[in-house]
């Protein structure tokens, strides 16, 4: 290994002693060993610092903060101390599979036009591995589209070029707390393409103590602000005001309220899609985008129908041209309509 590591893993830690040992073990099991971990502890009240120091691995650097400033402040401090050519995201409760770093370093070395590469991700729930809910496979063009309507990437799966990130001031923006990773990906996109390796190399732990569970209100408000700003940046005054609908129904998967709301959402998506089609993407990319729009339509319809909020015939008659009938299973829609009718009567 060289004196300066190839990879700097930046991590904010806070009261993570229970799950942190497994995360650290996943780092030590990497087949690519030329990494450092810069862990900034954000004023933990448990044994997090003792766990970090107790590993006894010289590649792990621990910085203690006397005052709890939140994950953005801690991660910004960790990034300021990072020495690596590449920077890896990893939260204190997530896991990296053994070949993650080896494959991502090889990818960035072979693709100089790529600024960030992520991996496919599975979920870890109560000790059991479950398939990830993120769309895959992801091409660079499809990532560009999805970043207009949702967050397609997992922070703990990304590796990006430090030289690009150092041009950002600050590294992560405090006003984007709990969606700072999504915001960072948008800002890094100016320096190159975003790719994904279609292989599960990361496990995202879902549990009640996770930030996405504890701070859902702040996260929802900030991602809505982020998406609205992004739409206005690309479309100006023509930008549809659908950020709130995207967050509630596409990202949070809440049942759609009625046919008018459904149409407003997808009319807005159509405006974004029309602009996206002018950006020079190839036919295969545009076809994938249209397919994902169609699937999103039927997913939202199914949820609304089963909740008893959207009659089945409204979903059929209000279907936009992009929503192919082939993406809906007829038997499932009929069953959903029956379930929804019963729920509507009970309500």
At 230-262, the pLDDT tens digits run: 999 999 999 999 999 999 999 999 988 788 888
DSSP-derived letter for residue 309 is S
pTM: 0.91
* Same domain flag for 28 and 106: yes
* Same domain flag for 50 and 165: yes
* Same domain flag for 62 and 204: yes
Element (H, E) at 297: helix 283-306
User: For the chain, how are helix, strand and coil distributed in percent, rounded to 5?
Assistant: 50, 15, 35
φ/ψ (deg, to 5) at 31: -70, -25
Tell me what pLDDT residue 304 has: 82
What's the burial of 25, exposed, middle or buried (CB within 10 Å: 0-12/13-18/19+)? exposed
Tell me what pLDDT residue 325 has: 60
Contact status, residue 104 vs residue 117, Cβ threshold 8 Å: yes
Q: Which residues of the chain have pLDDT under 70?
A: 1-2, 209-215, 324-347
Residue 34, classed as helix, strand or coil, is coil
* Same domain flag for 107 and 205: yes
| Residues in a beta bridge with 338 | none
Tell me what pLDDT residue 1 has: 47
Q: Which residue blocks in 58-210 are alpha helix, DSSP H?
A: 71-81, 100-110, 140-146, 162-165, 180-188
Q: Are strands 60-64 and 35-41 parallel, antiparallel or unpaired?
A: parallel
DSSP-derived letter for residue 15 is S
Q: Which residue blocks in 168-282 are alpha helix, DSSP H?
A: 180-188, 211-214, 216-235, 243-245, 259-276
Residue 260 falls inside a structural domain: yes
Tell me what pLDDT residue 215 has: 45
* Same domain flag for 189 and 267: no
Tell me which residue range forms the domain holding 293. 240-346
Could you give the number of structural domains in the chain? 2
Judge if the upstream peptide bond of residue 192 is cis by omega within 30 degrees of 0: no
């Amino acid at each position: 290994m060289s004196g300066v590591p190839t990879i700097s893993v930046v991590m904010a830690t806070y009261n993570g002693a229970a799950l942190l040992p497994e995360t650290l073990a996943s780092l030590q099991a990497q087949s690519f060993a030329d990494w450092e971990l810069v862990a900034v502890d954000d004023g933990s009240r448990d044994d997090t610092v003792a766990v970090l120091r107790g590993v006894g691995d010289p590649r792990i650097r621990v910085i203690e903060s006397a005052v709890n400033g939140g994950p953005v402040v801690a991660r910004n401090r960790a990034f300021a101390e990072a020495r690596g050519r590449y920077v890896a995201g990893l939260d204190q409760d997530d896991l990296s599979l053994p070949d993650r770093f080896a494959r991502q370093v090889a990818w960035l070395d072979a693709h100089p036009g790529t600024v960030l590469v992520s991996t496919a991700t599975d979920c870890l729930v109560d000790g059991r591995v479950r398939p990830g809910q993120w769309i895959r496979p992801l091409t660079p063009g499809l990532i560009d589209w999805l970043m207009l309507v949702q967050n397609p990437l997992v922070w703990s799966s990304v590796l990006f070029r430090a030289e690009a990130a150092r041009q950002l001031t600050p590294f992560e923006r405090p006003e984007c707390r709990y969606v700072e990773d999504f915001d960072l990906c948008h800002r890094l996109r100016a320096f190159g393409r975003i790719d994904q390796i279609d292989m599960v190399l990361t496990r995202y732990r879902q549990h009640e103590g996770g930030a996405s569970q504890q701070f859902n209100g702040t996260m929802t408000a900030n991602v809505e602000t982020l998406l609205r700003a992004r739409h206005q940046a690309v479309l100006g005054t023509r930008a549809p005001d659908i950020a709130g609908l995207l967050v509630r129904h596409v990202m949070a998967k809440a049942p759609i309220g009625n046919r008018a709301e459904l149409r407003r959402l997808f009319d807005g998506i159509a405006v974004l899609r029309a602009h996206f089609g002018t950006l020079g993407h190839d036919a295969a990319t545009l076809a994938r985008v249209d397919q994902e729009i169609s699937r999103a339509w039927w997913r939202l319809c199914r949820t609304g129908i089963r909740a008893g909020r959207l009659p089945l015939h409204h979903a059929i008659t209000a279907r936009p041209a992009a929503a192919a009938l082939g993406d809906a299973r007829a038997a499932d829609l009929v069953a959903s309509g029956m379930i929804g009718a019963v729920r509507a009567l009970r309500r």
